[in-house]
Structure 1
Amino acid sequence: MQTITNIAAADQHAAYFAAVANAERRAMHSYFDQHVVEHDELGFLAIDEGDYGALGQAMIDRIVYTAPGGIIDEF
């Protein structure tokens, strides 16, 4: 087990896991994939692909995790 001794690194890890948890929760109730994006100033953000339409390459390059949408509209 790795122990994180740097407080800033611990905060980064906590922010990442909080964003992943948020994306996972949102994905269960969405047609769209939920992405966790790393932002230089804001840390990690969970975004809904449906809110942004076609993602630009700059945003795609910052994606660190994707939770697939959980609702399928095929009958």
Structure 2
Amino acid sequence: MAYSAPCTASSRSYFEALELAERRALHSYFDQHIVADDEFGYIALDEGDYCALPAHLATRVVHTIHGSMLDEF
């Protein structure tokens, strides 16, 4: 289910966070989340830094990039 909420953050901060999350996801087992932030616009968070994402952050996730490393080898 997708939710829409008005955001005053600039699109530039979104694309900067997206670029960072995509780069980090290539070298991580954990998902990378782009989170709306009132002060900074958008920020990229590594799920591995928080174990389970706290509820106050999980509700502000606008995009997730899955970690690309495999643990099968």
Question: What TM-score range do you get, normalising by the shorter chain?
Answer: 0.7 to 0.9
Coordinate RMSD, CA, aligned:
1.4
Higher helix residue share: 1
Larger radius of gyration: 1
1:18 aligns with 2:42: no
Query: Percent same amino acid at aligned positions?
Result: 52
The count of corresponding residues between Structure 1 and Structure 2 is 66
One-letter code aligned to 2:39: E
1: CA distance, partners of 2:40 / 2:50: 18
| 1:34 counterpart letter in structure 2 | Q
Q: Could you state the TM-score of these two structures normalised by the residue count of structure 2?
A: 0.83
Map residues 1-75 of structure 1 onto 2, 5 A cutoff. 12-75=10-73
Structure 2, unmatched stretches of 5+, are: 1-7
Unaligned runs of 5+ in 1: 1-8
Instruction: Give the drift of 1:56.
Output: 1.3
